[in-house]
Structure 1
Amino acid sequence: MIFIEGHSFSTPSSSPSQPQGDDILLALLESPNLISATSSFKANPERKFLASDESGSERSKWVYIFQKEYATVDPALVDFVGTDEATTCVGLVIRNKKTGMTSVAHMDSPEIVEMGLSQMLSSLVANSLETEFEVHLIGGFEDVSLQQGNGSAISESPAYLDGYSFPLCSKIVHTLWSRDEKFHLQTFCVLGHNTRRDSDGNTYPFFNGFVVETASGIVIPAIFDRTSRCPDELVRRIRVSVSYEDANWKEKLLETYDCGSDCFKIAPCRWTLRQYHIALSLLNCSDSEILSTCSTSPTAEAPDFVDNLRRQWSYLMEHPHWTETFPMKQPRTFARSCDGRWIRC
């Protein structure tokens, strides 16, 4: 069940008794309360996280998650949890209002939403039906034209169904609406609320990332640099890519972080000779070819998108057998040192 400002949310009376995700999503996008909350979120300055920064941010303890990952954190152990690099992806925050336990997922396809939401909730509380949750959705943008040539509105045009962001958002809100738990929707910075346009009419997301301040539950825009997307940045990127062909991770979010011990446990994921040859064939492609082949939003990617892919492919060239990275099929474990940095165990 979805609640807004303490009231149960329902679609307009003209909608069917069992509304589809599209109906729910369009109604939420028009909610005055959510529009106001989104404006407040967008008014916050974007916080930059730099592990090498000596201004004091290194004294904060944060957990970073990549695409298709999730992590649940304890506010007694972690100050911030967040993600970035999202274009057509959507960040989902679920926070236990009573305990402050917070789970964040970087959703990238409708197929992982139902199982992913169950993973998040199971890590937050034993009996989720007796708990109320604060929820934030941030990410996705108008990655296709939402207007017909005659200027008619989104609800009169099927064009939005062709993109990546709208179907993902639709699946998320329908899943939240269909479950019995109480989800209090706080921030809804998605699709049109997260879209800016340049002078040529090209669309881009306002924000690609965010963090949750775990003690207060406040969510603010954020961006991370390579040094702060840790630990095990490169292996985790590869794991995201190869997990789509690994049956162990079908329709699941990738497990990343152990909440009880404040340790990262990067569960093993295998890559095949086929993936090695794909990497080999792409490694020498031009930047534009890589963007058009590997991105759902080629014009909206960050400047280091192609470089990050090239680093992954180079790693696969150097380590063609996945057991070199995950000896004895064991996870790669990292513990937090006294100065807040991650050390391989």
Structure 2
Amino acid sequence: MIYVGGVPFSTTDGSSSSQGSDILKALMEHPILLSASHLLKAIPKRKFSAFAESGSERSTQSNCVYIFQREYATVDPALVDLVGTDEATTCTGLVIRNRTSGMTSVAHLDSPEVVDIGLTQMLSLVVDHNSDSLLDVHIIGAFEDASLHHPEYGSESESDAKQDGYSFPLCSKIIKTLGKRQENFHIHTLHVLGHNTRWDPEGNSFPIFSGFLVETSTGSVFPASFDRTSRCPDEIVRRIRVTVCFEDPHWTGRLLETYDTQTDRFVIAPCTWTIRQLQIAVTLQNLSDPEILLTCSTSPSAESPDFVDNERRKWDYLFQHPDWREAFPLRQPRVFERASGSWRRRLVK
């Protein structure tokens, strides 16, 4: 059930595929959520680097958990101060926090297909089954990448997502799923679609914010961006997992497991890559930068300047490690522990 301003948000009963889009549109116009979006836009974006401590940049190594696309992490405020993500264009960041315990789960959702199981994964360590207290929710990301006036807009099928954009079907699915679950979700921020969109003089749309962080002790959410040094640990392997998991049935409909809440360690669950995927990487590596953007991105004009370089670094790793078992010996996860302000890999014996 959805709450706004401490009051249940009225939803229309029904089973039509447009239900999620109808609720989303109504929420987008709610005065409290409109005000929250305006306040978020006024907050200066925080920039994070592993090697910066002053000015507009901050170091995140010792107390931050960073989430890549299609990953999620649930963190304990006793162990982690900050949790965040960025690089979201048509993707959406979702925060669910238990206001009593402070347990906070963050996911970087990239398609409607991972929402149902993904929410169950996120809630597994957040919900207190002995209490019916509200769970605080923030939804940030996904810009207006297609017209909202298309007569069929709001359908959540894959074909319509391709025709009408990726952002709206994803946001619609998130809202629909929150609304039908038995838990009580108090939405504080819904900074998506038109609220998260800016336009250049030529009329091209771009996201205002592509990332954010959460202060686990307070639940406060801030716009944020991270550089390569702070998107860690195991950046390249985690990026590769996002690509190859689509052909691994183990991950169908699931968010990628990344972080162990109890031990404050990154535990990168194994994934596999095939000869076919290596051949695709060879083909893509030979494309020009504009061709890579058009082929690999759902929003080619809105990607960050390092998007193409990040793609090429993934393919280079695959060329150097064509056998996935080199990355995951004995099909064991890659484990990283905090050590002297950075992450250190623990080798499996």
SS at match of 2:143: coil
Q: Residues 17 and 280 (structure 1 numbering): CA distance in 2 closer, same or farther, change over 3 Å? A: closer
Structure 2 letter corresponding to 1:181: E
Please give the residue correspondences for 1:159-170 in structure 2 after superposition, counting only pairs within 5 Å: 162-170=164-172
| CA apart distance, 1:125 | 3.2
Q: Which TM-score applies when normalising by structure 1?
A: 0.93
SS at match of 2:83: strand
SS at match of 1:226: coil
Aligned to 1:314: 316
| CA apart distance, 1:42 | 1.3
1:164-198 per-residue CA deviation (whole Å, 9 max, x = no partner) reads 00000000000000011000000000000000000
Aligned to 2:121: 119
Please give the alpha-carbon distance, in whole angstroms, between the structure 2 residues aligned to 1:327 and 1:60. 28
Please give the alpha-carbon distance, in whole angstroms, between the structure 1 residues aligned to 2:165 and 2:130. 33
Please give the alpha-carbon distance, in whole angstroms, between the structure 2 residues aligned to 1:239 and 1:112. 15
Structure 2 letter corresponding to 1:21: G
Please give the alpha-carbon distance, in whole angstroms, between the structure 2 residues aligned to 1:140 and 1:116. 17
| CA apart distance, 1:17 | 5.2
Aligned to 2:259: 257
| CA apart distance, 1:159 | 5.1
| CA apart distance, 1:54 | 3.5
1:229 aligns with 2:231: yes
Please give the alpha-carbon distance, in whole angstroms, between the structure 2 residues aligned to 1:238 and 1:94. 26
| CA apart distance, 1:52 | 1.1
Aligned to 2:344: 343
Aligned residues: 333
Which 4+ runs in 1 deviate beyond 6 A?
A: none
Q: Which TM-score applies when normalising by structure 2?
A: 0.92
1:24 aligns with 2:23: yes
Structure 2 letter corresponding to 1:341: S
1:332 aligns with 2:331: no
SS at match of 2:233: coil
Q: Percent identity?
A: 62
| CA apart distance, 1:128 | 7.7
Please give the alpha-carbon distance, in whole angstroms, between the structure 2 residues aligned to 1:122 and 1:255. 13
Aligned to 1:151: none
Please give the alpha-carbon distance, in whole angstroms, between the structure 2 residues aligned to 1:159 and 1:248. 31
Contact 2:62 2:342 in 1 (8 A): no
Please give the alpha-carbon distance, in whole angstroms, between the structure 1 residues aligned to 2:287 and 2:130. 48
Please give the alpha-carbon distance, in whole angstroms, between the structure 1 residues aligned to 2:92 and 2:179. 17
Please give the alpha-carbon distance, in whole angstroms, between the structure 2 residues aligned to 1:285 and 1:108. 24
Aligned to 2:210: 208
Q: Residues 126 and 330 (structure 1 numbering): CA distance in 2 closer, same or farther, change over 3 Å? A: farther
Please give the alpha-carbon distance, in whole angstroms, between the structure 1 residues aligned to 2:269 and 2:23. 35
| CA apart distance, 1:57 | 2.8
Contact 1:129 1:181 in 2 (8 A): no
| CA apart distance, 1:158 | 3.2
Structure 2: where are the runs of 5+ without partners? 155-159
| CA apart distance, 1:10 | 1.2
| CA apart distance, 1:145 | 2.7
1:29-50 per-residue CA deviation (whole Å, 9 max, x = no partner) reads 1111100011111111000110
Contact 1:234 1:312 in 2 (8 A): yes
Contact 1:129 1:180 in 2 (8 A): no
